[in-house]
Amino acid sequence: MTSNSDVISLVQGRVSEVSTDVNTIASVYEITTPCTVWSNEFCDPLLIATRYFTLYGTYLAFAIGIPGNALTCIILIKMKPFNSSMIWLIVLTVVDLINLLVRFIVGRVVASVSGPFEDWSCRLFYITAETCNFSSNLLLVGLTCERFIATHFPLKMNQWCTVQRSILAVAICLTVCLGQSMYVTEVYRANGLHQCVLREKYQNTWGVLYEDSFQTTVFKLLPIALLVLMNCLIARRLCATKAWQNKLSHGQSQSKSRQQRQIYQMLMASSICFILCIMPGIIYQYCHLLIERDDNGIRARLIMMNTFAVFEVYNSAANFVVYSIAAQKFRSEILHLLTCKGHTVRSSIWHQRPLRLKKHLVTSAQPKISVDLLD
C-alpha cells in the first residue's frame, strides 16, 4: 500500500511539473504575459524591451500602413496613364493592405472564437496572411522586371508589357501563393494562447524541411536575389546612358537626368526596404535550429522571432512612405488630392507625355529609357 507521505510527494511532483509546463508555454509563446508568470530566467530587461517594441512597434506599423495603403490605392487608381505598371502597383498595395488588416484582427477575432470554429478561424487567417505575405514578394519582383524591360528594351516595352499580360501574371502569382498556403492545413489555436501555431506532428516530420527550405528559399530568398541582380543591371544601364544624355540640349538633359534620378531612387528605396525587412527573418529561419540548441536558445528565439515579425509588418506598411519619398509624381498627386487644385491641367499633360516619349524613341537611333510610371 502507498503511504500518505508517498501520496503527498507524488501530488507535489505533479503540481511542480504542471507549473513548469505552464511557465515554459508562457515564456515561449506569450511575450505579453506579465513577468510574474514567467520563470526568473526570462525576467530580464532585454525581454521586457522586446515585449514593448513588439507591442507598440506593431501598433505604429498598423497606424501608418493601413490608412497609408488605402490612400495609396486611391492615388494610384486616379493617376494617369493607366498602364501595366499600374496593375502591379495597385495589386501590391491591396495585398499589403489585406495583410495588415489580417494581422491586426487575428489577435482579437481568433482569440474570441471558441468551440469547433477555433481551428477553422486559425486556418483561414493563416492562409490569408501567408498568401498576402508571399504574394507581396513576387509582385515586387514582377514590378522590377517591368522596369528592367523598360531600361534594357525600351522599344519592346509597349509590346511585351500590356495590361492583359500584367493581369495574367498577377493572377498566376496569387494562385501559386494561395496554393502553397493551403497546402499547410495543420494549423490550430493552442488552448490559452492568442496565436495560431502549427501542430506538433507537422513540426516534427516534414514541416521543418518544407517551411525552412522550400518556402523560405523560393518565396523569400529567391526574390531578394532577383531584386539585387535586376537592380544592379538597371543601375549599370542608367549609368551607361549618362554620356549619351550629355549630347542632348540643356533642357532635354535636365529632364532626362531628373527622370533617371527618380527611377533610380524608386528602385533603390523599394528594394532596400524589402531587403532590410525580410532578410533578418530569412537568416533566422535557416539558423533557428542551431539557436535553440544553446542554453539560452529559448530566450534568443523569443527575442528574434518577435523582432523579425515586426520587421515583416513594416515591409507591408512602408508603401506610402517609400512612394512619397522617392517619387515626385506621387507627391504631386497627393497634393492635388488634398487641395483639389490643378489636377485637370496636370492630367492633360500626363496624357500627352507618352506620345512625346514614343516620338523620341522612334525617331532616334540611340536607345532611350522609358519614363517610369511614378516619375
CATH number at residue 269: 1.20.1070.10
Domain extent for 100:
41-240+254-363
Taking the model in full, what pTM does it have?
A: 0.72
- Which comes out higher in pLDDT, residue 162 or 210? 162
CB 331 within 8 A of CB 76: no
Give dist(CA 194, CA 208) in Å, integer. Answer: 22
**Which residues, 6 or more positions from 191, have their beta carbon under 8 angstroms from its beta carbon?**
none
Establish if 6 belongs to a structural domain. Answer: no
Give dist(CA 358, CA 234) in Å, integer. Answer: 21
- Which comes out higher in pLDDT, residue 257 or 340? 340
Establish if 62 belongs to a structural domain. Answer: yes
**pLDDT above 80 for 132:** yes
In whole numbers, what is the pLDDT of the chain averaged over residues?
Answer: 71
Phi then psi dihedrals of residue 356, to 5 deg: -65, -40
Establish if 271 belongs to a structural domain. Answer: yes
Q: Which ranges of 106-153 does DSSP label H, i.e. alpha helix?
A: 111-112, 117-152
Establish if 101 belongs to a structural domain. Answer: yes
Establish if 149 belongs to a structural domain. Answer: yes
Considering only 122-136, 283-297, 323-337, which range has the smallest mean pLDDT? Answer: 283-297
Rounded to 5 degrees, what angle do the CA atoms 6, 9, 12 make? 150
Give dist(CA 60, CA 319) in Å, integer. Answer: 14
Residue 191: predicted pLDDT: 46
Q: How many domains does one find in the chain? A: 1
What 8-state DSSP symbol labels residue 42? Answer: G
pLDDT confidence tier of residue 10, bands split at 50, 70 and 90? very low
Establish if 49 belongs to a structural domain. Answer: yes
- Condensed to tens digits (0 to 9), the pLDDT of residues 304-357 reads 888 888 898 999 998 898 888 877 888 888 888 888 765 444 443 334 444 444
Residue 328: predicted pLDDT: 80
Establish if 236 belongs to a structural domain. Answer: yes
